[in-house]
Amino acid sequence: MNGAKCKLFFSVRVVLAVIFIVSGYLKLMEPYQNFLAAVYAYKILPAAAAKAFAIGMPWVELIFGVYLLAGLWTRFSLEVLWFLNSLFIAAVASALFRKLPISECGCFGGAASFPLDKILWLDGALWTVFALLFFFSEDAKWLSLDEYFRKKQ
């Protein structure tokens, strides 16, 4: 497992992981109330669920991003992050459809913000990369803890 294909998918895995780690980390650097305001703006979740989502989601992004980077439970981490990515696409698409006056997507906390139509394209591109990696997840396990433990066994 050290061909060019493995190195390519390893790089893709690292890039995806870093995106989620940065996104989660930046949100966690701020009071959760700022992200909660972004969640409220989408008008999807009731108050209690929105609060739980605003507190928990950045940790999910960070921890599963770290797992994906380290290659621990690679496929499961990939599935969790892919699911999150699909949720974001659904939320942004529904906000665009309902013409909600949202100026900030809330994706990277207060540090970086994108208009909704642009972030929909970016999330769509990310979704495709996830799909690709999902089908080649064995190749993406180069330099991973999963591979290390498999060899040890």
Tokens encoding 19: 């995106």
Q: Which is nearer to other proteins, 4 or 151 (CB)?
A: 151
82 Cβ contact list (under 8 Å, min separation 6): 127, 130, 131, 134
Name the minimum Å distance from CB 124 to other proteins: 25
Shortest reach from residue 30's CB to other proteins, in Å: 6
- Footprint of other proteins (CB under 8 A): 25, 28-31, 33-34, 36-38, 40-41, 47, 62-63, 66-67, 70, 72-73, 101, 103-104, 109-110, 145, 149, 152-153
Closer of 1 and 72 to other proteins (Cβ): 72
How far apart CA 149 and CA 144 sit, in angstroms, is 9
Task: Output 131 or 148, the one with its CB closest to other proteins.
Answer: 148
In terms of C-beta density within 10 A (0-12 exposed, 13-18 middle, 19 or more buried), how is residue 19 classed?
Answer: buried
Cα 10 to Cα 4, 77, 125, 150, distances in angstroms? 10, 14, 18, 17
> Alpha-carbon distance 30 to 62, whole Å?
14
Minimum Å distance from CB 16 to other proteins?
17
Supply the minimum distance, in Å, between the C-beta of residue 101 and other proteins: 8
Give the nearer residue to other proteins in terms of CB position, either 5 or 43.
43
Q: Do the Cβ atoms of 57 and 63 come closer than 8 Å? A: no
Determine contact, residues 116/42, Cβ cutoff 8 Å. no
Please say which residue, 8 or 63, places its beta carbon nearer to other proteins.
Answer: 63
**How far apart are CB 90 and other proteins at their closest, in Å?**
20
